[in-house]
Amino acid sequence: MPAATKAAQNGAAATDAALTQFTESVAAAFSETSTVAGDMNAALGSAVLPVPDVGTGPPPALLAALRSAIGDEGVVVDPSVTASYSRDMMPLAPSGSPVAVVFPTDTAQVAAVVRACASAGVPLVPRGAGSGLTGAANAVDGAVTVVLTKMNRILAGVS
């Protein structure tokens, strides 16, 4: 076997071993997340915002404000649908359950959603296509997930 081929195989094996070790260490770190989060919440006490009750859906006033801003077709609250917007492509990153998923089509709608969530004290999570590998678009329990994929036009002359 040529030396270059053997070196490439050895390099690939080392890379695979390093990736396996990294994946195992990340999985171990995330398996401890609930304990760490519990310890942090206990230490922070009242500084931690309460987690909204996800089982009841969004507060009625928030739901009305979201539907007013975007329209009924742009607001999804069915848990069997919202669950698919709870995480991106990183299976190891923690995620929660959004109480609603909204699909704004312009910046005015995004601003109205931000105002409605701020007024209701509900967190929001911006999201693109959900193809990221970092967990950055993962929902937190009780959040409104703002899916930006319908904002797909370039407006000429906008400054």
- Fold for 52-154, please state it: 3.30.43
Low-confidence ranges of the chain (pLDDT < 50): 7-8, 30-41, 43-50, 52
pLDDT digits (tens, 9 = 90+) for 43-53: 444 444 445 45
User: The pTM is what?
Assistant: 0.63
Whether 115 contacts 94, CB under 8 Å? no
The confidence score (pLDDT) of residue 21 equals 61
The confidence score (pLDDT) of residue 12 equals 54
> Which residues fall within 8 angstroms of residue 64, CB to CB, at 6 or more apart?
none
**φ, ψ dihedrals at 146, nearest 5°:** -105, 105
The confidence score (pLDDT) of residue 40 equals 46
The confidence score (pLDDT) of residue 35 equals 46
Closest by CA to 79, choosing from 136, 145, 135, 148, is 145
